[in-house]
Structure 1
Amino acid sequence: MAEHLARHGAPALLLIYGLGVSPAVLDAADRSIIVYNSIDAPALRVAEEVSARCDIVLTGAQWQSDEVNRRHPEMPTPILPVGPEFAGTDQFRPLSGEKDYDLIYAAAAQPYKRHDILFDTIERLDGAVSALCVFGYGELAEAFRDEIAARQLPIDCVMPPVVPFAEVNRLMNRARIGIVAGVDDGAPAIITEYMLAGLPVLANAQLTCGLQYLLPGTGEVADPAQWPAAVTRMLQQLDHYRPREIALSRWSWPVSAARFLSIYDDAVAARHALGRTPITLEDCDA
């Protein structure tokens, strides 16, 4: 990456996801506005000397912003996570066709996604509710499939490898409700992706990032013990929800981008105030 920047020049924006970036890349992008996006439950997964060189840290919850500001008191920390925010308006959308599953869980087959909560919910509902698991990737896919079979649960699985976006959208449209069962999870993009496909969302009330997207018109939040009742209630009032309409008005690409550009302008001004002239988006358009 550092060689690429040396050859082609630094970008106006350098976006760092999760685990971070080498000092050589930061050196090569010294005139870029550097943005770190918290994609996991830990707010920062980089060393302090790396995060100190960022101009903006995008977080998924207020507690993450607070954690970042304890390390860097002057750092802008908007709750604007790439994923559930900046949602593409057409990538996920409603389709016509049969709804042959009650629930869908599109999540990696990994422990932190807490598929056990879904399995227990289906079992407690005595098989009256069906579900589809879309794994994409994850080391537990076969173990989950075997557990589903052993417990005789009405759950079908789409096994790895990763499913293309268009197919994920088609699979979402076969279900009535999207679920998010994890706890220690960065604000999952799937929350608003479900909504854009027209599905209300049931989320674990213990989810550490992303509960701000669960509004009266977009879905429900419940502790795992209350999931059977929540699923039953949601299935009885599907017409009550307006997930796509609300997601488009609050978290779609144009809305999130407008919010980000205001924060970006402040970061550019802060660089100028320090005598560190950055490359700007206007420079790229020139």
Structure 2
Amino acid sequence: MRVLQLIDSLNAGGAERMAVNYANALTSRLEGAYLCATREEGLLKESLSENVGYLFLNRKKTIDLSAIKRLSTFVKQEHIDVIHAHATSFFLATLIKILNPKLILVWHDHYGNSEFLENRPLFVLRRCSAWFSHIFTVNSKLEAWARTKLPSVPVSYLPNFAQVDTNKPKTGLKGTKGKRILCLANLRPQKDHLNLLKAFQLVLEKYSDWTLHLLGKDFKDDYASEIKGYINKNHLNKNVFLYGSCTDINHVLKQGDIGVLGSKSEGLPLALLEYGLAGLPVVATQVGDCYKVVSKPNEGILVEPNNHKDLSQAILKYIEHENLRHLAATHLKAKVLSDFSETAVIESLISIYNSHKL
């Protein structure tokens, strides 16, 4: 079997990282594993295994006839059996399916605003879904939504899994060793960095030598400007640092002491799994499927979203009780390795691929 992962870009986001993870994991399990970035390349290209067949389309518009032709030709030449379309790439995948009727098309829903599904556009997706053989979702809310809104397509919840990257270490974190809080999240509104910054200000009132490190893509938009403006206005520049996207995530996480996510909405955040694999204790908001990763008090701390006071108290608890930090990190790492392992997820994935073979 030959499977193509389809994703709009290789920027360092959750859906993009999972597309790369799937492609890499399938190289040793299938006849052929491929990945196509349709609109942009990015830092994650460095993380692709050399055994993954790669195509960049440089698609410029929604209906780009040249890009459609190139992808359809690639699918035929490489004898692709399955297109695994991630996030918004489902539209292009549907066009390729129409041109190549024997293809199996599966769609992977990574929608990050799963707390606000009532606002989600549905018109195009519903029409494209007539060509889907299967839908995968990254959390239970998206699974329930798909079963209701797209009832004609089989749906499976498929948890994210993390891989330890082997990229060359190059990012050195500022601040004092042993006193670093990390947030691995692109600068998007649903990640609610402002809530985290407010919480961190309260932390600094007691522990002025701790630092906060924000790692994730800067989209140079109004939200990013608001974050930077808040940091400047509140004189946080000596304690809060922004790094943009990093390819050496494992190296970066090894330099931290507490991993945090203060999001308004999530699917199943890959960052939590990566924190766990790296041996970090975590503080996160109780959104999406975070509760499935941190399901017990000894695996981390979950707080309600939009509550910077509770978030600060949770962070302070770990700062003040190093033994609890180490205990939580140990339990979370064991949980991630047992419940969110690459092996279990990929076996389920291949089984579903095979169930739809013509």
Superposition deviation, residue 47 in structure 1: 2.0
Q: Does 1:208 pair with 2:288? A: yes
Whether the aligned pair in 1 keeps the contact of 2:262 and 2:311 (CA below 8 Å) is no
Inter-CA distance 259–99: structure 2 relative to 1 (3 Å threshold)? farther
Q: Is the 8 A contact 1:178 1:194 kept in 2?
A: yes
Over 3 Å counting, the alpha-carbon distance change for 1:13 and 1:90 in structure 2 is same
Select 1:255's aligned residue among 330, 341, 344: 344
Structure 1 residues 8 and 17: alpha-carbon distance in aligned structure 2, compared to 1, 3 A threshold: closer
More relative contact order in 1 or in 2 (CA 8 Å, sep 6+)? 1
Question: Separation in 1 of the partners of 2:299 and 2:165?
Answer: 18
Query: Corresponding residue for 1:284?
Result: none
* Structure-2-length-normalised TM-score: 0.64
1:138 is displaced (CA, Å) by: 2.4
**Structure 2 counterpart of 1:69, which letter?**
R
User: What is the CA-CA distance between 1:244 and the residue it aligns to?
Assistant: 2.6
Counterparts of 1:215 and 1:143, CA distance in 2: 33
Give the TM-score normalised by structure 1.
Answer: 0.79
Question: Aligned partners of 2:75 and 2:348: how far apart in 1?
Answer: 29
Q: Which runs of 5+ in 1 are unaligned?
A: 269-276, 278-286
Report how far residue 209 of structure 1 moved. Answer: 4.2
Q: Distance in 2 between matches of 1:194 and 1:265?
A: 33
| Unpaired stretches in structure 2, ≥5 consecutive residues | 1-66, 168-172
**2 CA distance for matches of 1:135 and 1:253?**
23
Pairwise CA distance, 1:171? 2.3
Distance in structure 2 (CA, Å) of the matches to 1:124 and 1:192:
27
Give the whole-Å Cα distance in 1 for the aligned partners of 2:102 and 2:239. 51
Alignment of 1:2-13 (within 5 A): 2-3=68-69, 4-9=71-76, 11-13=80-82
- Aligned residue for 2:356, secondary structure, equals helix
Which residue in 2 is equivalent to 1:21? 91
Shift of 1:8: 4.2
Query: Retained in 1: the 8 A contact 2:165–2:250?
Result: no
Q: Determine which of 157, 162, 174 is the counterpart of 1:87.
A: 162
Deviation at 1:121, TM superposition (A): 0.8
**1:115 aligned to 182, 188, 193, which one?**
193
Map of 1:230 onto structure 2: 314
- 2:192 corresponds to 1:192: no
Task: Kindly report the root-mean-square deviation, in angstroms, between the aligned alpha carbons of the 2 structures.
Answer: 2.7
Hey, what does 2:130 align to over in structure 1? 52
What is the CA-CA distance between 1:58 and the residue it aligns to?
1.3
Give runs of aligned pairs for residues 67-86 of structure 1, distance below 5 A. 67-81=145-159, 85-86=160-161
